[in-house]
Amino acid sequence: MRLICMILFIPYLAIKSIRERISVSIASRMLRKEYLCFFGARISASCKISPGVKVNGKRNLTLNDNVFVGSNCTFVCYEEPIVIGKNTLIAQDCFIITRNHKFNVDSPIREQGYTNNPVKIGDDVWIGAKCVILPGVNIGNGAIVAAGSVVTRSVASHHVVGGVPARVISVRR
């Protein structure tokens, strides 16, 4: 395994100049967008998608103008859409999901199927690192979600929320 990693990484090290390394990084970012769009995602040309981003249900993902998605984020949107507004920042390791298990006591959970609810994130929103956004949540324009938060309910515009579960901390003025 170590040998395979070295074989794949050595050509990158052979690129001597910073300019060449930046152009390789830009090319890989463009390939990530093209790959997602090929499978049905709607992604603005001005979006930036970092390495390690995973999307399950690509056809239900919409990223509007100037959205930044940090590394290792996961979007799960099989049946319902995830729509992210303009100029939104999503830090690394966030998890946004539109699906949840049903959990009646009548039968085993694994046999009950799923509930699906869309997630909408407004314009000019900042989502801190390692946040979890659950099905059915709407985050209003200009809101901030503190790092490590679990958002279980909708967030009003210009509110700052944080915690597990996320609660209002303040209002932006």
Whether domain 2-171 has CATH 2.130.10.10: the reply is no
Residue 44 tokens read as 């603005």
89-90/114-116 β-pairing: unpaired
| pLDDT tens-place string over residues 84-99 | 999 999 999 999 999 9
List strand residue ranges (DSSP E) for the chain, in order: 42-43, 48-49, 54-56, 61-63, 68-69, 74-76, 82-84, 89-90, 95-97, 99-101, 114-116, 119-121, 126-127, 132-133, 138-139, 144-145, 150-151, 159-162, 167-171
Residue 158 a catalytic site member: no
Query: Which pLDDT belongs to residue 25?
Result: 54
Q: Which of the following is catalytic: 21, 54, 101, 167?
A: 101
- Domain range annotation of the chain: 2-171
> Is the per-residue pLDDT at 151 higher than 70?
yes
| pLDDT tens-place string over residues 22-48 | 444 555 667 788 888 888 899 999 999
* pTM of the predicted model as reported, rounded to 2 decimal places: 0.81
Q: Which residues contact 6 (CB under 8 A, 6 or more apart)?
A: none
| pLDDT tens-place string over residues 3-27 | 544 444 445 555 545 544 444 455 5
The arithmetic mean of pLDDT across residues 108-115, rounded, is 88
DSSP state of 97: E
Closest CA to 66 of 40, 88, 42: 88
pLDDT band of residue 111 (cuts 50, 70, 90) is confident
Query: Which pLDDT belongs to residue 8?
Result: 47
Q: What is the largest CA-CA distance in the chain?
A: 63
Residue 73 tokens read as 């984020």
